[in-house]
Structure 1
Amino acid sequence: MGSDDANTILRMASLATPMALRVAVTLGLPDRLRGAEVAVDRLAAELGVAPVPLGLLLGHLATLGFFERTAAGYRTTGYGENLCGDSLTTVLLNLDTAGGRAELAFVELLHSVTTGQAGYDRRYGRDFWSDLAEQPPLRESFDRQMAHRLRAEVPQLVAGFDWGRFATIVDVGGGPGTLLAAVLAAHPGARGRLVELDTAAAARTFAAHGLEDRAEAVECSFFDPLPAGADAYLLCDILHDWDDEHAGRILARCAEAARPAGRILVVEQVGGRRAATDMDLAMLVIFGGRERRVEEFEALASAHGLALDAVTDVSDGRSLLEFRNV
């Protein structure tokens, strides 16, 4: 191996830059230095951090083009402005959010690869969902993360499938209700219910879209009996968060509620189809899950009396698998 190859590998493996970016976003540096030149000592005093290490952080990120050093201090560059504001990027990089905190579980990747178990639990002493339940700010940041993640794809998800076939839809674990609200808005004859442990965000979404008469948020765990008799049960970005045992239990509840004629609609990044390989590792270390392939979904569902009818690529990143009871 030549020295150039070795150096490239070391740069790829270095944790310095990804952690520096996360610390900068967590401290709010891109926004604070946007359009302003601020001296390191003054900035450190404002933030309550040590000035010399802060200077080292800014110096490294300046070499990468996120900040520039001036006679008066540092300021955010045009490139660095991508780290400003409230976006999926900033929500995921901020170490105080659910997404940023979760990514630190990658330090336990060896444990996860060795055991197949989540690294998150090992790092924090409890699983991801328990963490969110015990820390409301993490829950709020996770809802924002999911809204950001789906926002760009929601129009594709709505247009890419014939939702009009279903008069009633139950969105199982639908979070802030972004997708269900969009589906109902596009199909005025449909009604929806959203199942979630905390329904406050979904209620706000439905109110904002004027859907209070057609959409209801129900506080319930998807491991418990679900509202029965709907035409369709939607699981969007749910099953990849769980190992096979728990994912199977969720599907079983959907199958139970949907009998005899309802459909189960699984929307996810499907392995070998739409999923990125880095997401496989993220699902593993955070949840002990993965981005399953079509045949893996079929095997999981068949154990609970479900058969796969169709697979539709509904967006740039996600596919929809439609199951029926047999």
Structure 2
Amino acid sequence: MSALRALAGLATAMALRVAVTLGLPDRLLGDGPPTDELAVELDVDPVALGLLLAHLAELGVVERTPAGYRTTEYGAHLRADAGNGLADLLGLDAAGGRAELAYVELAHSVRTGRAAYPRRYGQDFYADLDEHPRLRESFDRQMTHRFRAHIPRIAAAFDWSRFATVLDVGGGQGGLLAAILLAHPGTRGHLVDLPAPAAEARRVFAAHGLEGRAEATAGSFFDPLPAGADACVLFDVLHNWDDEHADRILGRCVEAVHPGGRVLVVEGVGGLRASSASDLDMLVIFGGRERRLDEFRALGASHGLALDDVVVLTDHRCLLEFRLTAAG
């Protein structure tokens, strides 16, 4: 029973998020400032701040000093400059931390099968990013960090050299496409994403000397895509959407590839490389899910796509290779 209560407790989960939001791991250096002074600096209640710091000390995130509290080596992993992405994932003023608060509406998602995010914030996740540039910036940083360790393995674990041209749909800041092109000098690439990430992708391509082989176009994957690619890649895209929207995205990819082309879906697959927690994240935040193979087959079949191969890329992702059949 005590183990179940510990699993269900919100005190620690929220204490860590508030600590990151207030920047405590970054501020509590040296001997640490007195709590009263810190409360004035942060414009928070000193008694309540003391309660928060006491719990963080119990967790080992901070430790008492003669002056106040300081961040421990363990707690330093929560610093904004730690390089692990946790600050953007946990901070309540960042896209990741804000999104996770939608879990308070999980019951709504279970009852309806719809995202909880719009119920809490009045609009969907992506509309929220569009309205708040700081959220967009934190989301782009979070995605860049999330993919950093996986991209080299994805670029190396599949024979991308089979394709003369690769269209990366919803490709963010261009990390995956750049890695593919660097590993396969005979391949050219084209990325499509919203204006801000597309602009950053151009900078990434230029930094890697890929201007002559890679381009980035600002656009939506719900609109017509640049045509004629040998392969169209969807990296962690479809699981963010319900079946209706996923079907529309896949339809645009089918329009974009030439008749002998391939549509490549890279993401977690239910029953193979996806966690139950990730499934709930997709549901609560986006109204999506980590689809199983039979669901991917059904989604592809409606566009004349046949699932030719499933390649395990990492502990969390597979590559599903779809071939456009004559019916498509």
Q: Same fold judged by TM-score > 0.5?
A: yes
Contact 2:31 2:65 in 1 (8 A): no
Q: Deviations over 1:58-112 (max 9, x none)?
A: 1111101111112110001111111112432221001111111111110010000
Shift of 1:202: 1.1
Shift of 1:323: 0.4
Q: 2:136 aligns with which of 139, 152, 156?
A: 139
Cα separation, 2, equivalents of 1:191 and 1:143: 24
Cα separation, 2, equivalents of 1:57 and 1:314: 41
Q: 1:169 aligns with which of 152, 166, 170?
A: 166
Return 233-242 or 66-75, whichever deviates more. Answer: 66-75
Cα separation, 1, equivalents of 2:202 and 2:41: 38
Return 30-39 or 237-246, whichever deviates more. Answer: 30-39
- Matched residue of 2:223: which SS? coil
Q: Work out whether 1:22 is the aligned partner of 2:17.
A: yes
Q: Work out whether 1:127 is the aligned partner of 2:102.
A: no
Gaps of 5+ in 2: none
CA RMSD between the two structures:
1.0
Shift of 1:36: 3.9
Structure 2 match to 1:228: 227
Cα separation, 2, equivalents of 1:305 and 1:259: 13
Q: Work out whether 1:196 is the aligned partner of 2:193.
A: yes
Cα separation, 1, equivalents of 2:312 and 2:239: 17
Return 198-207 or 268-277, whichever deviates more. Answer: 198-207
Amino acid at match of 2:101: L
Q: Work out whether 1:70 is the aligned partner of 2:65.
A: yes
Structure 1 match to 2:313: 314
Q: Deviations over 1:180-205 (max 9, x none)?
A: 11111111121111101122221221
- Matched residue of 1:42: which SS? helix
Structure 2 match to 1:110: 107
Contact 2:78 2:87 in 1 (8 A): yes
Structure 2 match to 1:3: none
Alignment: residue pair count: 321
- Matched residue of 2:114: which SS? coil
Contact 2:31 2:68 in 1 (8 A): no
Amino acid at match of 1:264: V
Q: Deviations over 1:201-253 (max 9, x none)?
A: 21221122121111111011101111111011000000000000100110011
Cα separation, 2, equivalents of 1:262 and 1:222: 18
Shift of 1:35: 3.8
Q: TM-score, normalised by structure 1?
A: 0.96
- Runs (4+) of structure 1 exceeding 6 A deviation are none
Shift of 1:309: 0.5
Structure 2 match to 1:293: 292
Cα separation, 2, equivalents of 1:207 and 1:29: 37
Cα separation, 1, equivalents of 2:181 and 2:40: 50
- Matched residue of 1:323: which SS? strand
Q: TM-score, normalised by structure 2?
A: 0.96
Q: Work out whether 1:279 is the aligned partner of 2:278.
A: yes
Gaps of 5+ in 1: 1-5
